[in-house]
Structure 1
């Protein structure tokens, strides 16, 4: 039987910043709360992160008007500092993120298992919007 979980979704962005900065902004909760949302009417009021193999993370994503919020959380299965992250979400889906240094820029590639509720394109669009927000925030920060 075919299931949506046999398909993975990939989003990527090239961030105009060196890999050390990109890594720091990706893993530090004080930065995560500044970019981990898909649109300006949302925010991330809380983030906790233990970026090591076996460590846990949790980011609360919430509508600014208070109408809805959820916790995005999981456990790291593999962390290679400065270059690679794998984690599992509570529903069994897996996510892989690579950070590739291109000199003064860094390519970030996320591949994830889709959930079964929303269409693939909607999920790709949401994750790409968050990654684009990360790029915008990281590039704007000195």
Structure 2
């Protein structure tokens, strides 16, 4: 597969104030409740050092024990309640913006796709995780 350089965007409008959305995005006890794409997966572990040069890691695992992997990176920019940027272990870049809109918050993630899976597959997976976050954050 040819390398893809075009970043991919996923987004969600969440019916919660930006401070609440931010907290549920960054706090490990919340991350383990939403950071997976489907009900047959879970996130049994998360750690998050939210500062420039701070690292984060979330373990995503199939509930049946058949597969797991760690998703992580290092923060390059942090603006509380507004913006996160990080670099993943393989060098790909990701940004996450949080924008208060009325009583809700618009979350937009932009990521560099990897070259193993089709871009539409990656976009669908990231969107599913963001949709799961929305469901959790609105509880």
**TM-score category (smaller protein):** over 0.9
What is residue 131 of structure 2 aligned with on the other side? 132
Count of aligned residue pairs for this structure pair: 138
Where does 1:1-142 land on structure 2 (aligned, <5 Å)?
3-4=3-4, 6-140=5-139
Mark the runs of 5 or more structure 1 residues left unpaired by the alignment.
none
For normalisation by structure 1, the TM-score amounts to 0.96
Show structure 1 runs of 4+ deviating over 4 A: none
Q: CA deviation at 1:103?
A: 2.2
TM-score by length of 2: 0.98
Q: Shift of the alpha carbon at 1:33?
A: 0.1
Ranges in structure 2 where 5+ consecutive residues have no aligned partner: none
Other structure's SS at 2:132 match: helix
1:93 to partner: Cα distance: 0.2
Aligned-residue offset at 1:3: 2.8
Q: Shift of residue 97 of structure 1?
A: 0.6
Secondary structure of the 2:53 match is coil
Which whole-Å CA distance do the structure 1 matches of 2:105 and 2:126 have between them?
A: 18
Cα RMSD, aligned residues only: 0.7
DSSP 3-state at the match of 2:87: strand
Q: Distance in 2 between matches of 1:7 and 1:65?
A: 35
